[in-house]
Amino acid sequence: MALTLKDLARLANVAESTVSRAINNKPGVSEEKRKEILNLADKYNYKPNRLAKGLAEKRTKIIALLLPDLENTLSLKVISAVEEELEEQGYQMLICNTKKDISKTENYLKMLLEDQIDGVIILGGTPTTGKMIQIGLDKGERIVLVDKLLEEVVLTSHLIDHNKSGTIAAERLFKNSNKIKPVILIGEENDYIEQERLRGFVDVCKKHGHKPEILTGINTRQDGYESFFQLVNNIDIPTGIFFTSNIAGIGLIESVKTGGWLIPDDFEVIGCEDDIISRISNPKLTVIKNPLIRMAQNAAKSLIDSIRSKTVTGEVRIYEPELVENDSTK
């Protein structure tokens, strides 16, 4: 069993409180004693017990990261970014795969309330209820949102301007010619993010005198593959396609190629997310890149800041997506 603070006190012939002060760099100890105690602590490799400390201080230096799922590399990116930031600050991270199950989220927020974790980062796609929001309010800034819009309450949020993704994509497609036929493939029709992208895309198309063809429910590779058949009856060359799921995009590209068409000559396509899929695809995809890593880092930072300072900013930061040009556009 490891050394405790009490042991250290005995060894140094001082009271526990003195050791505590020395260890935590708090005033009220003579430099002499502090040095002595610190040396002893070092010598015996003393490590404070997080549990006891947490119990006494009502903070644990652990934060929870709530994710909608653990399926795509996106989650990994966020995990990695948050972990790195937290580790630097001496915090630890609990992963919660909500699988979009709302009760999991609730459990973690309860832990927050009970001082068993210091804060929560919620990634977009994680479901929430009104009840939780109240908790968020009570606890002020100990919840931060990443790529998740919550209208009912003001929480520190790091948001992506998804509308802009749509506009950037459309504008890129019209860059070379106004005569390109615009198509957009989205997933869940009712999803806020997808709606924003769609809106941005449609708006720019209008500006160019076009009304884009809109295909919804395109999530999987198979969906993407089959979506081409819906376009094929009245094909106009050139056609420009923006899809919000890269894996669906891969499917689309396959069927475009199978049909004997060329990318980017006949079809120009733009994907969402600069990931392994877009980089491996042939041709390499031109994509709209979201600064997720930066967002996740900042989220972790702002969370820790607010835990430390106990201030409530309710700050909302908007991040701009950007175009990454590759070979699927000309």
* Residues engaged in binding DNA (CB under 7 A): 1, 4-6, 13-18, 20-21, 23-24, 26-30, 32-33, 47-49, 52-53, 55-58
Encoded one letter per residue, x for contact with its own copies by CB under 8 A and - for no contact, window 279-318 reads -xxx------------------------------------
Q: CA-to-CA distance for 183 and 201, rounded, in angstroms?
A: 9
Return the structure tokens found at 10.
């005995």
Return the structure tokens found at 104.
């999991």
Determine, following the binding rule CB under 8 A, whether residue 325 of this chain makes contact with its own copies.
no
Cα angle for residues 20, 21, 27 (degrees, 5° grid): 175
DSSP class of 226: H
Q: Which is nearer to DNA, 27 or 260 (CB)?
A: 27
Near its own copies in 113-132, by CB under 8 A: 113-116
Q: CA-to-CA distance for 321 and 295, rounded, in angstroms?
A: 11
In whole angstroms, the minimum distance from the beta carbon of 205 to its own copies comes to 29
| Contact call for residues 99 and 93 (beta carbons, < 8 A) | no
In whole angstroms, the minimum distance from the beta carbon of 62 to its own copies comes to 8
The item of its own copies, DNA, none sharing an interface with residue 26, based on CB under 5 to 8 Å by kind, is DNA
The item of its own copies, DNA, none sharing an interface with residue 217, based on CB under 5 to 8 Å by kind, is none
Near its own copies in 34-53, by CB under 8 A: 47, 49-52
Q: Which is nearer to its own copies, 84 or 322 (CB)?
A: 84
The item of its own copies, DNA, none sharing an interface with residue 237, based on CB under 5 to 8 Å by kind, is none
Q: Which is nearer to DNA, 28 or 314 (CB)?
A: 28
Total residues binding its own copies (CB under 8 A): 38
Alpha helices in 14-118 (DSSP H): 16-23, 31-43, 50-57, 73-88, 102-113
Residue 177 DSSP SS3: coil
Residue 123 bridge partners (DSSP): 146
Residue 313 DSSP SS3: coil
Residue 182 bridge partners (DSSP): 240
C-alpha radius of gyration, the chain, whole number: 26
DSSP class of 162: H
For residue 117, which of 52, 61, 56, 48 has the smallest C-alpha distance? 61
Determine, following the binding rule CB under 8 A, whether residue 256 of this chain makes contact with its own copies.
no
Q: Which of 17, 44, 95, 230 binds its own copies (CB under 8 A)?
A: 95
Helix (H), strand (E) at residue 114: none
Q: Which is nearer to its own copies, 185 or 277 (CB)?
A: 277
Interaction site with its own copies (CB under 8 A): 2, 47, 49-52, 54-55, 60, 62, 70-71, 73, 75-76, 79-80, 83-84, 87, 92-95, 97, 110-111, 113-116, 247, 250, 276-277, 280-282
